[in-house]
Amino acid sequence: MTRKEFLRTAALGASVFLCAGAGYGFMDKKGHRRESIRGRIFKGDGPEKPWKWSIEGFFYTKHGDSVQCQVCPNRCFLEPGDRSICRSKVNIGGKLYSLAYGNPCAVHVDPIEKKPLNHFYPRSLIFSIAATGCNFRCLNCQNWEISQKKPEEVEHTELFPEQVVAETQKRNIASIAYTYSEPITYYEYMIDTAKLAREVNIKNVLVSNGYINQKPLLELCKYLDGANVNLKSFDNDIYRCLNGGTLQPVLNTFKTLHEQGVWFEMTTLVVPTYVEDPEMIRRMCGWILKELGPDHPLHFLRFFPRYKLTRLPATPIATLEKMRGIALKEGIHYVYLGNVPGHEGAQTYCHNCHKVVIKRNGYLIEAVNLKEGKCAFCGTPIPGRWGAFRD
């Protein structure tokens, strides 16, 4: 992608950012449904729903009038009127409803490198959508304005699955990303969109914290082509303290994606005082090599003060370089540094001859030395999903 193309892409992204129409409240302070929204018809011809942008949950169990969501390891147990940890699910009338369906709060066109994905159709564009909610409570969240909100608390647009696919086709874009907030919280919206996209050969990309149960993940994997999953640390206590979750379900997600043949890359945000222990990084790399092999790229991202961690400094670049050095020494073939413009750690090097096969400048790609997915210098296959490159 040339600089001119990138600027045009940025303008396109701005032009398709859709954020129209305030969300409607659906409950009063006592948890009762408001008469003004009762009996709304879903998509014009379905059964009565509590909200226009709602749908019955796909994975949950009933316990009398109570329900238990089975999408993620939180397994929220909800009495009538209760809302889930992710803020997007609610028990109404003894049924679990998702309130984040067809109502994205963010819609953009992005370079694929922004996800970040460095080995998945470089130079391509991706149609990105997000609805509100997250099943984590990360102290350092960069998108807390949408991830830590209820669907009715933000402005959004109406864009149902078939419309997402149509908008993607209209722009001649080859893939859709479920991103920005946490796609697992709008699982129903994501998988219905992914099914329609697969029917017309549009690829699907998950950008996620990976906190999902096995059964819904296996169903999703039928339609996934790529993913970037955060590996926020390799310590369960840190996961609990920094993110409000646990480590093992995320590790299980990586193993499942690997077994199902979904291309994925891993991202670790290096948060000072939390995620900077060299020994922990060595243990993390050891697990990756044993369970996933050396070929899935690992991205170390620079932390900047955000949300509830404004007291911390930005990650020293020297710390990031140390982490990258450890991962490479342990045997991971492709290790990147993110949020450090112009750094050599942004380039893709052949793991055999160590020459640059993809040269990047931010999200711009300045040179590609790949031929049919192989290093142009030594012929070594470079793992990933490549396809044709746009000039």
Q: Tell me what pLDDT residue 119 has.
A: 98
Query: CB-based contacts of 44: which residues, under 8 Å, 6+ apart?
Result: none
Q: Give the β-pairing of 203-208 and 55-56.
A: unpaired
Identify the CA nearest to 189 among candidates 86, 76, 258: 86
Identify the CA nearest to 264 among candidates 273, 254, 274: 254
Q: Tell me what pLDDT residue 51 has.
A: 77
d(CA 273, CA 281): 14
Q: Tell me what pLDDT residue 49 has.
A: 56
**115-142 CB burial, b ≥16 within 10 A, e <16:** bbbbbbbbbbbbbbbbbbbbbbebbbbe
H or E element in which residue 318 lies: helix 317-330
Q: Where are the domains of the chain?
A: 52-98, 106-375
Q: Tell me what pLDDT residue 388 has.
A: 62
d(CA 248, CA 243): 13
Q: How far is CA 138 from the centre of its chain?
A: 14
Q: Tell me what pLDDT residue 389 has.
A: 56
Assigned architecture for domain 106-375: Alpha-Beta Barrel (3.20)
Q: What is the pLDDT along the chain (391 residues), one digit of tens a residue?
A: 443 443 344 333 433 333 322 222 223 333 332 222 222 323 333 344 567 899 999 999 999 999 999 999 999 999 999 999 999 999 999 999 999 999 999 999 999 999 999 999 999 999 999 999 999 999 999 999 999 999 999 999 999 999 999 999 999 999 999 999 999 999 999 999 999 999 999 999 999 999 999 999 999 999 999 999 999 999 999 999 999 999 999 999 999 999 999 999 999 999 999 999 999 999 999 999 999 999 999 999 999 999 999 999 999 999 999 999 999 999 999 999 999 999 999 999 999 999 999 999 989 999 999 999 999 999 999 999 998 655 4
Q: Tell me what pLDDT residue 280 has.
A: 98
Q: Give the β-pairing of 298-302 and 263-270.
A: parallel
Q: Give the β-pairing of 335-338 and 298-302.
A: parallel
Q: Which residue has the tokens 């750690």?
A: 345
Query: CB-based contacts of 286: which residues, under 8 Å, 6+ apart?
Result: 330
Q: Which residue has the tokens 């049924």?
A: 95
Identify the CA nearest to 345 among candidates 377, 376, 317, 383: 317
Q: Give the β-pairing of 175-178 and 203-208.
A: parallel
Q: Which residue has the tokens 């073939």?
A: 333
H or E element in which residue 278 lies: helix 278-291
Other beta carbons within 10 angstroms of residue 4's beta carbon come to 8
Q: Tell me what pLDDT residue 56 has.
A: 95
Query: CB-based contacts of 304: which residues, under 8 Å, 6+ apart?
Result: 314, 339
Q: Tell if the pTM clears 0.75, that is, is over it.
A: yes
